[in-house]
Amino acid sequence: MTRDLDSVPENIIEVDRRASADRSDGMIGWDWDGKMQFRASAPGSRWYANAAHTLDPAPAYGHDIDVVIDAYRRVRAAFPMADPQSPCFYLVPYEFASRTNAYSHATSLPEPDDWPEEAAPPWTGVIGLCAKRIPPMPGRTRYLVAHEYGHIAEEWIKETLLGHHRMREDQRLMDDYAVMRGLDDADFDRGATPGRWHRSIDEVFACDFRIAVCGIEPDYWPHPGFAHPQRHPDVIDWWADIVAKNDALR
């Protein structure tokens, strides 16, 4: 089947396997230690590229772009974010050396001359989906699109819907979210580390978003010890309120 190129959203980019000097299209290159790396920046943030991700140069299978597009459209319909915050997806043709499946960043953009000094810098979302040694099943692709979008939505919710300063009040949303979920500091972690990813409140938040807002892969709940959002009425009510606030912006 030949895909109509006009049907591919401009913010979903299949990264070329060849090295490129154009960072706006994503860049695969080599560091001085001989490690292959991927570096991306969203359109308009060329020299604000986020951190490099080391790649495994072995052949790998990328995510099916048609599945990515379909999942993205479902997620964006459920929870739209305005440009430039709406994320740009990079389909990376190699596996990350870290063996993680994807990453997301809120990447700062250049500040206009009239940007208020007290405001957090403008930003955009950047998401990378890496290839795998075995072809990713469509369910994994849908899960990752919605989950990583949820991490970018966290930044949007902080700043646009709740009025938090994205830099100065970085943990306020997660503090309040943990309380809403009935957790205390001993129940969760502040970030994701090997073997403890499932305990990260940020990862729980993104999976709650995937299920409660997007309805994507609801049977997959990778957080043992944490209630599934569909069995936690406070979680459903919290997200319903957030979605209503977001819908009011349309």
Q: What is the mean pLDDT of the chain?
A: 85
pLDDT at 207: 97
Structure tokens at 13: 């980019």
Q: Is the dihedral of CA 56, 194, 146, 141 positive or negative?
A: positive
Q: How far apart are CA 111 and CA 114, in angstroms?
A: 8
Q: N- to C-terminal Cα distance for the chain?
A: 35
Strands 53-56 and 95-96: antiparallel
Q: Is the pLDDT of residue 236 over 80?
A: yes
CA distance 26 to 28: 7
- The residue type found at 25 is D
Q: Token pair 């990752």 is at which residue?
A: 144
Q: Indicate the pairing of strand 102-108 with strand 88-92.
A: unpaired
Residue 6 binned pLDDT confidence (cut-offs 50, 70, 90):
low
Q: 3-state SS of the chain?
A: CCCCHHHCCCCEEECCCCCCCCHHHCEEEECCCCCEEEECCCCCCHHHCCCCEEEECCCCECCCHHHHHHHHHHHHHHCCCCCCCCCEEEEECCEECCCCCEEEEEEECCCCCCCCCCCCCCEEEEEEEECECCCCCHHHHHHHHHHHHHHHHHHHHHHHHCCCCCCCCCCHHHHHHHHHCCCCHHHCECCCCCCCHHHEHHHHHHHHHHHHHCCCCCCCCCCCCCCCHHHCHHHHHHHHHHHHHHHCCC
> Which is more confident, 182 or 130?
130
pLDDT of residue 19: 56
Tens digit of each residue's pLDDT (9 = 90 or more) over 61-96: 999 999 999 999 999 999 999 887 888 899 999 999
pLDDT higher than threshold 70 for residue 17: yes
Q: What is the pTM of this model?
A: 0.89
Joined tokens for residue 46: 């060329």
Mean pLDDT of 207-220: 98
| pLDDT tens per residue across span 105-160 | 887 777 777 777 777 777 888 899 999 999 999 999 999 999 999 999 999 999 99
Domain boundaries, the chain: 5-247
Strand partners for 126: 88, 105
* Average pLDDT rounded to a whole number, residues 214-223: 97
